[in-house]
Amino acid sequence: AQSVSQHNHHVILSEAASLELGCNYSYGGTVNLFWYVQYPGQHLQLLLKYFSGDPLVKGIKGFEAEFIKSKFSFNLRKPSVQWSDTAEYFCAVILFSGGYNKLIFGAGTRLAVHP
Amino acid sequence: SQTIHQWPATLVQPVGSPLSLECTVEGTSNPNLYWYRQAAGRGLQLLFYSVGIGQISSEVPQNLSASRPQDRQFILSSKKLLLSDSGFYLCAWSESPWQSYLNTEAFFGQGTRLTVV
C-alpha cells in the first residue's frame, strides 16, 4: 500500500543544533514531494516542494530537503534551528497513477527547540 | 485565482446526531478533492478523495461518508456521530494530472474543529 513514513515522532533539540527529519515513501511511480509545518495553534504552511530537477530543494526559513530517488526519501534539514522552529512537521507526497493524483501525509514529527 | 471555502469553522455535536461539512472550490475546474482528519498525535489521515463528480474513494473504513454532487463541491457526512469522530477536518484540492502535467500541489481549507459530546 502507498504510504509515507516519518521516522521520528518527537525530536528535542537545543538552539543552534542541526536538524534532519527523515521521510520515506512507498510508491514506485511519479511523485511530487512536500514538507509542511504547523506551528502551535496555526494552520498548515508549505515549507518547500519538489516537482522535478535539482534534487536539493530550498524552502522558506532556512529549510532545505533532498530527494534521493533510489532511497525513496525526502529528508528535511536545517543547519541551525531556532526556538521559533518549534512546531509539527509533515512530509507529504502526491502520487500520480493513471488519471488521478492522491496526496498522502506522514504521521508528523513534533519538534521542540529549547533555548 | 483559486480559493477554497470550508465551513463551519467549529462545530459541537451530540453523539448520535448527523454531520454535514461542506467544502467548495472556486477558480478551477475538475479538481481532485480530498478530506483529511487530524486527530491529536496521529497526523493527517486521508479519509476520502474524489477525481470527479460522483467518484469517491474511501481510504479508511469508518463512520463517515463523502459525496461530490457538483464539480467543485465536496461534502463530508455522517448519519450518527461517535465520540471518536471528534477531530480537525481539513478539505483540500489539487489540479488533476491532465491540468498540472505532473507538477501540482495541494491547497487547503481553513478546517473544521468538530467536537462530539
Structure confidence by residue, pLDDT tens digits, B34-44: 999 987 767 88
pLDDT value of residue B101? 63
Give the pLDDT confidence score for residue A1 in this predicted structure: 74
Cβ-based contacts of B44 with chain A (< 8 Å): 90, 92, 105, 108
Question: Which residues, in sequence order, are CB contacts of B113 under 8 Å at separation 6+?
Answer: B9, B10, B11, B88
**Residue percentage of chain A with pLDDT more than 70:** 98
Which three cell numbers, joined as nine digits, stand for B89? 477536518
Residues A67-95: what's their mean pLDDT?
Answer: 96
Q: What's residue B41's pLDDT?
A: 66
Q: What long-range pairs does A81-86 form, CB within 8 A, spacing at least 24?
A: A81/A13, A81/A15, A81/A16, A81/A17, A81/A18, A81/A19, A81/A111, A81/A113, A82/A15, A82/A113, A83/A15, A83/A113, A83/A114, A83/A115, A84/A113, A85/A19, A85/A61, A85/A111, A85/A113, A86/A39, A86/A40, A86/A111, A86/A112, A86/A113
B35 part of contact set with chain A, CB < 8 Å: no
Element (H, E) at B98: helix B97-100
* Arithmetic mean of pLDDT, A88-111: 88
Cell of A47: 515549507
Nearest CA in chain A to B88: A43
Cβ-contact B35, B50 below 8 angstroms: no
Q: Indicate the range of A13-17, A78-82, B51-55 predicted with least confidence.
A: B51-55
- Alpha carbons B91 and B5: distance in angstroms, whole number: 9
pLDDT at B105: 85
pLDDT tens digit sequence for B78-103 = 999 999 999 999 999 988 766 666 67
The residue among A101, A104, A109 with the most chain B CBs within 10 A of its CB, best to mutate, is: A101
